[in-house]
Structure 1
């Protein structure tokens, strides 16, 4: 990890980022209502919401998926750059500050959060290099608020929560794990792809399992880590 001041700043910024995207949630969207998921099998978008390569069929906005299902999505990481990914959310895991962050110095707000790990497989099916971009997935908590994934300043063995590799060209594939801190001991209701506020989100729901830490996960004899 970095020095204490760096870590404290990064953790504070991560929590602030999670709260800042609260404005992206909407009271009239039912993405976290626990209703029966609807599979996109056999359905495609008549008109893609963003330009994608020929042969790529985007999963329709508003699709409800189960953990293990794949969605094809597109978003604009920046102006004039469209990214296209196949995303399969493979597992949702709940952990605790004690089990996974015992060797890390956290703010009082973070100490009151519930950490979740979201594991997924992503493949670049577009025609642009998405190297260094963060996977565009949020979680929806029990307050219907979107939470961003939390980055780390140094290696976090249980769930790296890093951006895509520096080079992630068309055809590249990667297994990823993202960390989300639900404030005030909140719970994870769904995983959401929602690149902008007016987009009808694509969501994944499923059973949340308990993370089983390895003996050395996050526990270094050298002392507390700074994130």
Structure 2
């Protein structure tokens, strides 16, 4: 059987400039682990009661951000995103797939997040709007799979993904030239001052399979 091909976006999506808060303030960061910019008005229309995290916010793994974006014309999506874990694995994890030479020379990363739809649009089937930033300040897109990849499915939002729905997602990124993951980024378009998450990148450890539970009848039969 022919090995399935793996889709890959290792090319630069956006080259990041030095994105900084232009407020010019010398005030201290609000906390040691997160830098949050200030914003007077939402950058996109969102439902009442939804407060957007300001563009330029620098967060840590485990922090939540409420963001808005336009997945298509005249549609606004609002998401509550918590990046929960960053992992790396060996390229051999993809041995069942056909890899190009460039893919074989990449470093694979898994980004796990919990995302709630807090807007008014059904975002079912839409790509998860998260990127990673490598050591060259280049945004990399997630790698989709044509078939199931159990360690990290790397799929779009479930269909439907209606207002109020929550999904736990895992996205695969292949950093070219054995590159490094520096941050996870929400940057829906080039002029947006990105919201980023940073944290420790752990080695992926496959979960241990659950031990089958013995029924009461089988336990009775084992007694002498």
Band of TM-score, shorter chain = 0.7 to 0.9
Deviation at 1:187, TM superposition (A): 0.4
Residue 60 of structure 1: aligned partner: 54
Q: List aligned pairs for 1:101-112, cutoff 5 A.
A: 101-112=94-105
CA-to-aligned-CA distance 1:67-118 (integer Å, 9 cap, x gap): 00000000000000000000000000011112x2122221111000000000
Q: What are the ranges of 5 or more consecutive residues in structure 1 without an aligned counterpart?
A: 217-227
- Does the CA-based 8 Å contact 2:129-2:186 persist in structure 1? yes
Residue 120 of structure 1: aligned partner: 113
Residue 216 of structure 2: aligned partner: none
Q: Please give the secondary structure, in 2, of the residue aligned with 1:104.
A: coil
2:142 to 149, 169, 173: 149
2:171 to 169, 178, 181: 178
Instruction: Write out the 4+ residue segments of structure 1 that deviate beyond 6 Å after TM superposition.
Output: none
* d(CA) in 2 for partners of 1:27, 1:175: 31
Residue 91 of structure 1: aligned partner: 85
* d(CA) in 2 for partners of 1:166, 1:153: 17
Residue 137 of structure 1: aligned partner: 130
Q: Which moved more, 1:71-80 or 1:103-112?
A: 103-112
* d(CA) in 2 for partners of 1:52, 1:174: 20
Change (3 A) 1:214 1:111: farther
Change (3 A) 1:30 1:158: farther
Q: Please give the secondary structure, in 2, of the residue aligned with 1:54.
A: coil
Q: How many residues align?
A: 200
- Does the CA-based 8 Å contact 1:150-1:179 persist in structure 2? yes
* TM-score, normalization by structure 2: 0.83
Change (3 A) 1:184 1:215: farther
* d(CA) in 1 for partners of 2:198, 2:158: 27
Which protein shows a greater Rg? 2
Deviation at 1:134, TM superposition (A): 1.1
2:15 to 25, 43, 46: 25
* d(CA) in 1 for partners of 2:133, 2:40: 28
The structure with higher relative contact order (CA 8 Å, sep 6+) is: 1
Deviation at 1:38, TM superposition (A): 2.6
- Does the CA-based 8 Å contact 1:44-1:58 persist in structure 2? no
* d(CA) in 2 for partners of 1:30, 1:47: 19
CA-to-aligned-CA distance 1:179-201 (integer Å, 9 cap, x gap): 00000000000000000111100
